[in-house]
Every structure is written in C-alpha cells, then in structure tokens.
Amino acid sequence: MPSETSNSGTTGVIRSTNPRTGDIVGECTDMTADDVEAVIAAARAATAEWAAKPIGNRARHLRRIRREWIRRAPELAGVDAAETGKSLIDAAYEVLAVSLNLDWCSWNARRGLRDRRVSTFPTVPKRARVEYGPYGVVGVIAPWNYPAGIPMQVIPWALAAGNTVVLKPSELASQTGLLLADIINGAGEELIHVATGGAVAGAALASSPGIDKLEFTGSGSTAKHVLRGAAENITPVVMELGGKDALIVTDGADIAAAARTAVAAAFFNAGQTCMATERVIVTPGVHDELVEAIRAETAKVVVGPDPSSHVGPLTMPGSLRRVIARIDDAVADGATLVAGGTRLSTDHGEYLEPTVLTDVPAHADVLTEENFAPVMCIQLARDVDHAIDLSNAVDLGLSGSVFAADLTEARSIARRLDTGGVVV
C-alpha cells in the first residue's frame, strides 16, 4: 500500500510507501477537521503582510523561490519519484518544468495584475478603474500523479496576486507536498501551509469558512463532494478534473509521427496523466497502417522496476486489478489485444504491460471510463464526421489531439471537439 491512514476524528498517521519497493518514504499527520482549521488560521495570520507588498516585490520574491526551487530540485524529484513510483528522470522533468512557470509568472504577473482604466457612460462625469486584490487564503487540493507539478500550476499565481496558500496534498504523496512547502517557505516568507491527510482533511478544507478561494485537481467523483463542501460558504472554486482524451488521425496524416505521439502520450507516467491519450480514433484509409505503427512503437517501450524503464508501476493500490478486469471484459466482448494486457511479474509493484486494443465494443468500460493506466483503445471511424462524433461521445472532454493531412483540416476538426483544449 502506498499509504496507510487511520483517520476517525482523532489525529492519526499517514505513512507513504514506495510503489516500486514497498519501502517507507515518510510519515505525517492524518489531520482532523480541527487540525485543518488550525493550519488555515496560520495561513490567515500571514496574509495581511504579504498582500500589502507591492506586486513588484512579490514578483521578485517569486524569483527567489525559483532559485530555491532549482537548488533543491534533485531532492524534491527524489521524494516525488519515491512516493509515486515514477522514474527519477520523469520526476525531474516534472519538477524542473515548474521553474519555467515560476519564471514566467514572476515576469508577467505585474502586467496581468495591473490596474485598468475602464470607460463609463460618456455623459456621466466619472472615472472608473479595475484594481485587482487578493482573495486572502487560497486552498489547493492536489492529486498524486504530479504531486509537485500540479499544485505549482496554481501556487505561483496565487502568491503573485497576494494570497497565502493552504495545500492539501494527496495522501499518497504527502512528503512531496511537505517538501514543496519547505522549499517555497525556505525562500524567506512563510507563504504555504500544508494540511496533510485524506478525504477528511480535504473535506474540511473545502467546507471551511476560512478558505476564500479553492482550487481542486482530481477526479470527477471527488469533485462533487468538494463542490458540496464549498457551497456551504459559497466559496469560489476552480476545478481541474479527469479526461478520456482522444487523438484523431485522418487520411493523409503523417502516420509515423501520429504513432510516436500516441504511444508517448498514452504511456508516459504509466498513463497516469489527466491528458493521457486513452483513445485513438482513425479513419479507414490509414487504420491498418496506424495500428501497425503503434504496435511497433509500443514494442520499444520498456516497462518494469529498472530505474531506466519507460513505464513504472501504477501508483494507486488496486488500480491494476481494476484495469485488467476492464481489459479482460472488453476482450471477452470481442476486443482484440494488439499489445500488452497482462501484469508484469515482479517482487514488488503493480506493473501493466503497455496495452493496445482494437475493435473495442462501444459500451466497454475500458473505452468509456478514465483508466489512468497504460492502456490505449484504437477506434475505427467511418469518416471524419464519425471520428468527431466518437471523440465527443465520451463525457470527459479535458483535451484532445488531431493529426490530419493539413493544418486547415486539423483546425476544422479541432473546432468541433467538445474539449477544454486541442493539440494540432
């Protein structure tokens, strides 16, 4: 088990373990609602002084945080890799990408947050301007798959705008959350406070009147609880939820490039990415060529406990059993296994061979639910319109991708996809 929790109203302990080895990574408090309130109060106490600083000073401080972040990146990547089971190089990629966001934020926050004149009705002698002020305490509830990268998409901006932050890391990656805060606070200002724990701590944060704005990243099912909690105080919420992304390939596309991209996007981080390519939808003229190219690219992907492998273990206990059951059900219903489909036999850890399926029945869970595992379903579309319909048939439109014969066709497909974003 990557983590053990014992939360029943009294303060317990969360122990995270390495999904590759079973070794204990660290222990921390499994906070109760009262513990979480105390953390929020500490964050509140720091808001006035931080909010009073001019934006230029806050931006300069973000650059100090960035220097501290880069200095301690190897340490953070090591803890991230240990708690999630991802390879050190993937964790390093995640952690170092954050420094780009810190950099960009520090140089652009002043422009984004500067006061703006707005026009008023011409005959009324008034001048109007918009001034941006901080909310106060921003709550950030984070998932385990990128435990440094995901919260750090939000935290730099919350800080730049003059807020302090209470971070609730996933219970599977608490040590990464604690170290992340230590690095940020190590730059000289106590701006991040951490509420460790699972559902109890998360629910307490979401429903607390002490939280002025909430950012939640996680699954749709948890999001419903979070929204109910936030509704108690009408707390504004930003939600980043799951996906079932499709990559569409049409006749005339560069098949070699499409296959390489599909394989990387489906299997990076063992498929445990919200924007992972879980479905590939292809038109008839290039179907067979694409399936063969994807099969060949998948054969190059190395899975296993070796630190240099491309695909590591699934982080969440029990997910391997769930996803193999979905694959088996689909195959029993007529799907064809092009690659993988089986568990890798190892002493520790839950490893799935990178899996590619074709001919998957429309109702199969493996095709309609987020798998969050290295599984790709290839769907044959009758034509471009049908490809778009298949992509939009799943109600988890986080993002999508298009490979087409030319940019004009790709853009026209992209515009018709019900997704938050599209990569062409």
The catalytic residues are 240, 274
Per the listing, tokens 């005339």 go with 252
Q: Residues near 404 by Cβ (< 8 Å), separated by ≥ 6?
A: 248, 249, 250, 252, 253, 410, 413, 424
Q: By Cβ distance, which residue is nearest to ligand NAD?
A: 202
CA angle in degrees (0–180, nearest 5) for 199-19-261: 95
- Asked whether the beta carbons of 378 and 355 are under 8 A apart, the reply is no
Enumerate the β-bridge partners of residue 30. Answer: 12
- Extract the tokens encoding 277: 């390519």
Least spacing, CB of residue 167 vs ligand NAD, in Å: 9
Least spacing, CB of residue 289 vs ligand NAD, in Å: 31
Contact range with ligand NAD by CB under 6 A, out of 82-90, 197-205, 249-257, 332-340: 197-205
Least spacing, CB of residue 220 vs ligand NAD, in Å: 7
Beta carbon nearer to ligand NAD, 171 or 353: 171
Q: Does 12 bind ligand NAD (CB under 6 A)?
A: no
Q: Residues near 327 by Cβ (< 8 Å), separated by ≥ 6?
A: 335, 337, 341, 355, 357, 366, 375
**415 three-state secondary structure:** helix
3-state helix, strand, coil in the chain (%, to 5): 45, 20, 35
Q: Does 149 bind ligand NAD (CB under 6 A)?
A: no
Q: Contact with ligand NAD (CB under 6 A): which of 86, 168, 213, 310?
A: 168
Beta carbon nearer to ligand NAD, 9 or 125: 9
Q: Does 350 bind ligand NAD (CB under 6 A)?
A: no
Q: Contact with ligand NAD (CB under 6 A): which of 217, 277, 283, 368?
A: 217
Separation of alpha carbons 221 and 215, rounded Å: 16
Least spacing, CB of residue 226 vs ligand NAD, in Å: 5
Q: Does 20 bind ligand NAD (CB under 6 A)?
A: no
Beta carbon nearer to ligand NAD, 373 or 381: 373
Radius of gyration of the chain from Cα atoms? 23
Beta carbon nearer to ligand NAD, 243 or 340: 243
Q: Does 144 bind ligand NAD (CB under 6 A)?
A: yes
Q: Contact with ligand NAD (CB under 6 A): which of 12, 134, 143, 400?
A: 143
Separation of alpha carbons 221 and 239, rounded Å: 12
Interface residues with ligand NAD (CB under 6 A) are 141-145, 150, 168, 170-171, 198-199, 202-203, 206, 217-219, 222, 225-226, 240-243, 274, 370, 372, 398
